[in-house]
Amino acid sequence: MSGWTTHTGTGVALDRDNIDTDQLIPARFMSTPRSEGYGRFLLHDLRYDAEGRERPEFALNRVTGPSVLIAGRNFGSGSSREAAVYALVDFGIRVVVAPSFGDIFASNAVNNGLLPARVDAAAAAGLAARLAGADATVQVSLEDLTVSLGDLTVPFEIDAVWREKLINGWDDIDLTRTHAGAIAAHRAARARHQPWAIPRGEAAR
């Protein structure tokens, strides 16, 4: 995953609260290997009717190549399925702006370079309203922690740890392996003081 600090792209507003992970990607698509791409599954049942025809009135079907999604509160609530993030990322979304996010979703997003930018409800509504106008170019800065659209600039919040991670594109596994000594010491202490934490279990079947 590569890091980034600023992003400029086309915005699209999804004027709904509680866009949950089952809407972001319905469960029936989740046995697909990632290499096949998940973009076509994004919000599938809202984008397409039961016969597979595009619903022309749905926001995502009215904008070409959007990369910044502005949504209502509690975006990504529900399941831990990272496939919800894969669907957004493979579709081309780099930033989701919303008043609140599901905690697991937000953490999955950051692990895939997708920014969950938290703004207050009025700011989200202001951005969404402006998107109705002609120019939908949105600028996002991880340096200044702002989202700008035309003459409107609003601040967003993100956990400092996540911000660093997005900027640096850190890979946690490599980072963690530099702490191998501390991990081994912790494990040894666990085995000594709480032996039940390491079950004398059966071997693999």
Partner 1 sequence: MTARTMLDKLWDGSEILRREDGASLMWVDRHLVHEGSHHAFAKITERGLTVAEPGLTYGVVDHYAPTAGGPGSPAIARMIETLERNAKAHGITCFGLDDPRQGIVHVIGPEQGLTLPGLMINCGDSHTSTHGAFGALAFGIGATEVAHVLATQTVWQKKPAAMRITVTGRLGPGVGAKDLALAWIARLGADGARGHAIEYAGATVQSLSMEARMTLCNLSIEGGARFGMIAPDDVTFDYLKGRPFAPSGDDWDRAVDAWSALPSDADARFSRDITIDAAEIAPIVTWGTSPEDALPVTATVPDPGRAPAEAAARIRAALDYMGLSPGQRISDIAIDQVFIGSCTNARIEDLRAAAAVLAGRRAKVPGLVSPGSRQVKAQAEAEGLDRIFTEAGLDWVGAGCSMCVAMNGDTVAPGKRCASTTNRNFRGRQGRDSRTHLMSPAMVAAAAVTGHLTDVRPLLEGRAAS
Can you give the binding site for partner 1, defined by CB under 8 A?
15-18, 20, 22-23, 26-28, 30-31, 33-34, 45, 50, 73-74, 77-83, 85, 100-104, 107-108, 111-112, 159-161, 164, 172-173, 176-177, 179, 182-183, 186-187, 190, 194-199, 201-205
Question: At closest approach, how far in Å is the CB of 41 from partner 1?
Answer: 12
Give CA–CA dist 4/142, Å, rounded: 8
Minimum distance, C-beta of residue 70 to partner 1, in the bound complex (Å): 16
Question: Within 13 Å, how many C-alpha atoms sit on residue 99's CB side?
Answer: 17
51 or 151: whose CB is closer to partner 1? Answer: 51
Q: Pick between residue 4 and residue 170 the one whose CB is nearest to partner 1.
A: 170
| Shortest Å, Cβ 71 to partner 1 | 13
Q: Which is nearer to partner 1, 46 or 138 (CB)?
A: 46
Cα dihedral value 33, 34, 39, 40, nearest 10: -10
**How crowded is residue 16: how many other Cβ atoms within 10 Å of its Cβ?**
14
Q: Please, which residue, 134 or 197, has the CB nearer to partner 1?
A: 197
Q: What is d(CA 70, CA 172) in angstroms, rounded to the nearest whole number?
A: 28
Strands 146-149 and 137-141: antiparallel
- Residue 101 bridge partners (DSSP): 75
CB of 3 to partner 1, least distance (A): 15
Identity of the residue, 63 or 198, whose beta carbon is nearer to partner 1 in the bound complex = 198
Closest approach of partner 1 to the CB of residue 171, in Å: 9
With b meaning 16 or more CB within 10 Å and e meaning fewer, what string describes 63-95?
eeebbbbbbbbbbbbbbebbbbbbbbbbbebbb
Nearer to partner 1, 75 or 138 (CB): 75
* DSSP characters over 77-99: BS---THHHHHHHHHT--EEEES
State in angstroms the smallest separation of the CB of 192 from partner 1: 12
Give the residue carrying structure tokens 């990504």.
Answer: 76
